[in-house]
Amino acid sequence: MTGGTIAGISADSRHSASHGIVLPIWLVLLGNLVMGGSLWLIAAGGMMAKLILLVFWGIMVLGFLRGLRFSPTALIGGGILLGLITVIVVGSGVGVEKLRLVGNLLMLPVGLLAGCVIGRDCLRIIVPVLVVYLVLSSSFYVTHDGMRLNQPFLFLGLFALCSVAQWRGHRWLGGTAGIAVLLSQTRIAVLAMLVNLMGAIWFSRVLTWLFALCAVGVLGWAAVDHLPRLFLTHGSGRFPFWQEFWELWRAASMAQQWFGFGAGAVEAILSSHISFGSFGALHNDHFRILFETGIVGAVLWLLGWIVMLWAVRHVRLSVCLLLSVMLTMVTDNTLTYGHYLICCGIAAGISVRRGGCKWIEPV
């Protein structure tokens, strides 16, 4: 790889300004192979699945950056991200946990850059293998709240990608992914999907309103009857843990309040609980950032989101996609869902490119 080329592929070989770079078939096939390997490694746990994902898309982005310049907004965002990474690296915590958290933080920005720089051909790399994986690995499992479909966030990522696709049948595929999210009965995933949908619908059309109202009525009636968990108001055991960690943070030293307990501190503390096996994590990434990186890290985290949203403000769908990710982080461990973050980042980047990218432009 040299400059703006990957094995001789010119960054200037674009089908159109809105489509982006046209990737050769060998690179698309290689990408599907890499993505497939990454997806199948999810079940094995550990960092390898996300490391493969991040390295591949990082190389893809770096391979096509020559001849492009970043706006001041993008440079400020990069500086904020670097600052947050610095807080993590120099803070407390085990080295491998620091590496894990940094990798998780990079997923969404790398996906956003890939979608914006490369364009819709990113979909040819990730969508086919994601569909195959979901068909082969999805299944229902029994809970005390009824039958639920697994993989809600991968289906949510597929829904996000379909919302920016323009090939034949993408609406049917997106609709199928949306139904799968509903069948998962994961409330925060359903809410995030609705936020995503708000960005994709043109509400200026009367027929859109009529169809949307009918669809919401039918789906709402079916959900009340068959998906009762979506309407439950309990916190699934989250609130006692949040309260405990809040008290720990309040009672901490000034240094810990400002710079955090260190990467991996949440899991280390939770592992001492009897219910750790069933609960597993804090289920609130915003709070987790505050706890592990302190006030300094939380401020940088908040500023990073503000800058990202400001950078894509001219494209409603991109704003909604980023907001949907922020929403899932309120009650889930979204930072650990690397494939979902990459999907949403790519979708938001593609949407920005189609709307006229304001923060990455040719020199």
Q: How far apart are CA 268 and CA 274, in angstroms?
A: 13
Evaluate if residue 209 carries a pLDDT over 80.
no
pLDDT digits (tens, 9 = 90+) for 62-93: 988 877 888 899 999 999 999 999 999 999 88
* Local confidence band at 137 (pLDDT 50, 70, 90 cut-offs): very high
341 burial via Cβ count (<10 Å: 0-12, 13-18, 19+): buried
| Rg of the chain (C-alpha set) | 21
The chain-wide mean pLDDT, for the chain, equals: 84
pLDDT number for residue 1: 38
- pTM (two decimals): 0.88
Evaluate if residue 338 carries a pLDDT over 50.
yes
DSSP-derived secondary structure for 52-109 = HHHHHHHHHHHHT-TTEEE-HHHHHHHHHHHHHHHHHHHSSB-HHHHHHHHHHHHHHH
Q: How far apart are CA 230 and CA 193, in angstroms?
A: 13
Evaluate if residue 183 carries a pLDDT over 60.
yes
pLDDT number for residue 234: 52
DSSP reduced 3-state for 359: coil
H helices, E strands: number in the chain: 16, 6
Q: How far apart are CA 328 and CA 234, in angstroms?
A: 16
Please name the amino acid found at residue 180.
A
As a dihedral over the C-alpha atoms of residue 184, residue 38, residue 343, residue 14, rounded to 10 degrees, the angle is -150
Evaluate if residue 198 carries a pLDDT over 90.
no
Summarize the confidence of residues 348-353 as an average pLDDT. Answer: 94
Evaluate if residue 275 carries a pLDDT over 70.
no
Summarize the confidence of residues 212-224 as an average pLDDT. Answer: 54
Of 278 and 350, the one with more pLDDT: 350
Residue 129 corresponds to which tokens in the numbers above?
Answer: 């293998």
pLDDT number for residue 363: 45
What Å distances lie between residue 158 and 14, 53, 154, 349, CA to CA?
25, 16, 6, 15
DSSP-derived secondary structure for 305-357 = HHHHHHHTTT-HHHHHHHHHHHHHHHHS-GGG-HHHHHHHHHHHHHHHHHT--
63 burial via Cβ count (<10 Å: 0-12, 13-18, 19+): buried
pLDDT digits (tens, 9 = 90+) for 44-53: 777 899 999 9
